[in-house]
Amino acid sequence: MMYSLGIDAGGTYTDAVLIRDSDGKILNSNKSLTTYPDILTGIRNTLDGLDELYLKDVHYVSVSTTLATNSVLEKTGYPVALILANNTDIPNRSKIEHFTLVSGGHNSAGNEVCPLDLDSVRDFVLKVRDKVSAFAVSSYFSVRNPDHELRIKEVITELTGLPVVCGHELSQDLGAYERGVTAYLNARLIPISSHFMEAVSSEMERRNIDAKLMMLKCDGSVVGISEALKRPIESVFSGPAASLVGAAFLSKNENCTVIDVGGTSTDVSLIHRGVPELSEAGAIVGGWQTKVKAIRMETSAMGGDSHVWVRNHLTNIGPRRVIPLCLAAVEYPEITEKLKQNQVILRNQIGENLQPTKFFFRSGLEASDISPDEEELLSRIKDRPLTVSEIYWNEKRLPSPGTLDLLIQKRLIKAIGFTPTDALHVLGEYTQWNREASVLGAGILAALSGTDENEFCLGIKKEVAKNMALNLISFLLENVSREEIEKVLNGKFFAGFKVDLPVVLLGGPVKAYEKELAEFIDADIILPEYCDVGNAVGAVAGKGSRKLEVLIKANYTESKYNLKTSSFITFFPGGREEFASYHEALEFGEEIGSKLIMNYMSDAGLDTADVSIEMHRNDIVTHEGGLPVETRLSFSGIGEAGKNRKTEVE
């Protein structure tokens, strides 16, 4: 008997599920805390809870993760330099510390319009090479001719040996700015993705599991591990993609919407006829518009581990994630005693980082490239949780909230605080960890907000449920503003929102929000068995797929009286070829498209014998009977990642 193993590493939990290949039954599942930065421990703890009799016969492993997504949302990626070779500046370049514009670029026909200034490239690379972990490169119309990006990459490799990501390697779409952003984010995520996959690989090897190792991409398809490491940006929404595929599998619904409540965020998506709905514009991650083809989704930075903080009697949830008090108190029992002391912070000092229920401790990562103020504050923070008052115990001042924030962004310290998970502990609806710490924290914050513990926690629970409904309705009503939707959700009317598709809930304690969610929307709300490990199910239920486009365009020369077709150019991912006749260009385009699909599937670790390819052709003809002036060939390949599985649970 053969089995498949799905693993999902989220911001809070790492989940695993075992599926029997012969009939698709879920035989075993487990979840344990994600351990960061030591991801391996969390993976090992999760697999330790699975039946060894099944594990020894696992032949296929697929993983998904929200670690990359969370890194972008929380602005905790690795430092990267971006080189843009064109005359188009990046609108929000202020977010990019190491950035330069150099002369270069091509036109839509792939012809050079400006010589590449390699001297400026060298000067910039030498200036920043000791401050970054990778480089990103984008040039104008590199999808028509990648020569300038490749030459810049060659220089960087020669001078630094650091990883280099080029825009044309990640997207065929026009838009040098968006390709640059995509390459930039991809480069920031390479160390995170590599660390995660190395942890999975090493654990498989330690357990003598000889299995094909795959990763779920953000479009709901799977890819081999070597390809995944080249393009970690494509895993940015692999967690939500896994929840979508997993929800369809568990609920036996090929048409449904999904609300996935994680530790850091709440995500909404839709699957129709078994196919995830994709975003044509590309994924928007942390305010960045990318060219990554991902599932269309509505997401908000509100999850089970979002920081609940009070200021001026107003309760705020998020956007930052913290370790819940109830969870931290299990490892650090002194937290409950410190909460009983109720540290005093003046009302005019209170903010997101300066809260009487917030604690800080060192992450264990080595400090580098930090300011003197950051270094001084870091020296005061220890390996065990301290309140802000304890950090500056003998001084009449509190730590700078801004400096604390920078140390969190750089992963040098971790924060503990009150969360919606704590609120559920207080209400007795989720009691996995230390309830006493949650009750103490609720009492302190409730006093600041002018209410009692129970009312305070009920308000938080209702706010999380309303956020779930807001995300769902905003997703379904694309052209209606969130503000208008929120007015309806907040008001008391003789009308409301009805959802015609089933709404599947996934996530740890989502059952606690079912009643409150039903008060905001009229829908068939489904909580399937194994909903708490739905992402791990989705990771192993995905298929392999690849889409690409080949463009054939007429190339003109200018005669004395008019324009004349001199040749036809076939543009394909990674290159271009010129032909004397249209039919030669078309024949080459059809061959190279199918070849690239098969090469990708092979590199992805899929059996090419099981791959099916569809090609759609779209011609633009200026006059009847004439040759097309432009032809687009769209290729779509589907491959089975593992054996066919039926949808059953046990």
In this prediction, residue 163 has a pLDDT band, given cuts at 50, 70 and 90, of confident
What confidence score (pLDDT) does residue 644 get? Answer: 43
* Range among 9-13, 475-479, 542-546, 554-558 with highest mean pLDDT value: 475-479
Residue 583 in any domain: the answer is: yes
In this prediction, residue 244 has a pLDDT band, given cuts at 50, 70 and 90, of confident
What is the C-alpha to C-alpha distance for residues 424 and 460, in angstroms, rounded to an integer? 9
My answer on whether omega of the bond before 401 falls inside 30° of 0, hence cis, is: no
Chain centre distance of CA 595: 30
User: pLDDT at residue 631 above 50?
Assistant: yes
Question: Which residue has 């005669």 as its token pair?
Answer: 559
What is the C-alpha to C-alpha distance for residues 606 and 546, in angstroms, rounded to an integer? 12
* Range among 21-35, 134-148, 260-274, 307-321 with highest mean pLDDT value: 307-321
What confidence score (pLDDT) does residue 87 get? Answer: 65
Residue 308 has phi, psi (to 5 degrees) of -95, 120
Window from 444-458, 478-492, 594-608 with minimum mean pLDDT: 594-608
pLDDT digits (tens, 9 = 90+) for 296-336: 777 787 888 999 999 988 999 988 889 999 999 999 999 99
Residue 573 in any domain: the answer is: yes
What confidence score (pLDDT) does residue 648 get? Answer: 40
Q: Could you write out the DSSP letters of every residue in 257-280? A: EEEEE-SS-EEEEEEETTEEPBPS
Taking every pair of Cα atoms in the chain, the longest distance, rounded to a whole number of angstroms, is 90
What confidence score (pLDDT) does residue 649 get? Answer: 40
More confident residue, 112 or 428: 428
Residue 574 in any domain: the answer is: yes
What confidence score (pLDDT) does residue 504 get? Answer: 93
Question: Which residue has 């209606």 as its token pair?
Answer: 480
In this prediction, residue 526 has a pLDDT band, given cuts at 50, 70 and 90, of very high
pLDDT digits (tens, 9 = 90+) for 318-329: 888 899 999 999
What confidence score (pLDDT) does residue 187 get? Answer: 73
What confidence score (pLDDT) does residue 478 get? Answer: 84
What confidence score (pLDDT) does residue 646 get? Answer: 42
Q: Which helix (H) or strand (E) holds 46?
A: helix 39-48
Window from 393-397, 436-440, 529-533, 614-618 with minimum mean pLDDT: 393-397
Asked if 5 and 26 count as a contact pair (C-beta separation under 8 A), the reply is no
The mean pLDDT of the chain is: 83
134-139 vs 164-166, strand pairing mode? parallel
In this prediction, residue 545 has a pLDDT band, given cuts at 50, 70 and 90, of low
User: pLDDT at residue 581 above 60?
Assistant: yes
Q: Could you write out the DSSP letters of every residue in 290-357? A: -----B-EEEES--TTEEEEEETTEEEEEEEE-EEHHHHHHH-THHHHHHHH-----TTT--SSS-TT
How many other CB atoms are found less than 10 A from the CB of residue 616? 10
In this prediction, residue 647 has a pLDDT band, given cuts at 50, 70 and 90, of very low
Residue 494 has phi, psi (to 5 degrees) of -90, 35
Average the pLDDT over 199-222 and give the result. Answer: 82
Residue 364 in any domain: the answer is: no
What confidence score (pLDDT) does residue 425 get? Answer: 96
User: pLDDT at residue 645 above 60?
Assistant: no
Residue 125 in any domain: the answer is: no
More confident residue, 73 or 209: 209
% of the chain with per-residue pLDDT over 70: 86
**Is the dihedral angle over the CA atoms 534, 540, 542, 546 positive or is it negative?**
positive
User: pLDDT at residue 122 above 90?
Assistant: yes
* Range among 59-68, 321-330, 483-492, 594-603 with highest mean pLDDT value: 321-330
Amino acid at residue number 60 = Y
Asked if 205 and 213 count as a contact pair (C-beta separation under 8 A), the reply is no
The residues, ordered by sequence, that sit 6+ positions from 86 with a Cβ below 8 Å of its Cβ are 101, 104, 105, 114, 138, 139, 140, 176
Q: In total, how many domains does the chain have?
A: 1
Amino acid at residue number 461 = K
Give me the domain span that covers residue 566: 543-639
In this prediction, residue 57 has a pLDDT band, given cuts at 50, 70 and 90, of confident
Gap between the terminal Cα atoms of the chain: 16
Residue 313 in any domain: the answer is: no
More confident residue, 560 or 261: 261
Asked if 553 and 568 count as a contact pair (C-beta separation under 8 A), the reply is yes
In this prediction, residue 513 has a pLDDT band, given cuts at 50, 70 and 90, of very high
Residue 208 in any domain: the answer is: no
What confidence score (pLDDT) does residue 561 get? Answer: 52
Asked if 242 and 536 count as a contact pair (C-beta separation under 8 A), the reply is yes
State the Cα angle at 169 between 91 and 271, rounded to 5°.
Answer: 85
Please tell me what DSSP assigns to residue 367. Answer: P
Within 13 Å, how many C-alpha atoms sit on residue 100's CB side? 19
What is the C-alpha to C-alpha distance for residues 459 and 455, in angstroms, rounded to an integer? 6
User: pLDDT at residue 182 above 90?
Assistant: no
Residue 337 in any domain: the answer is: no
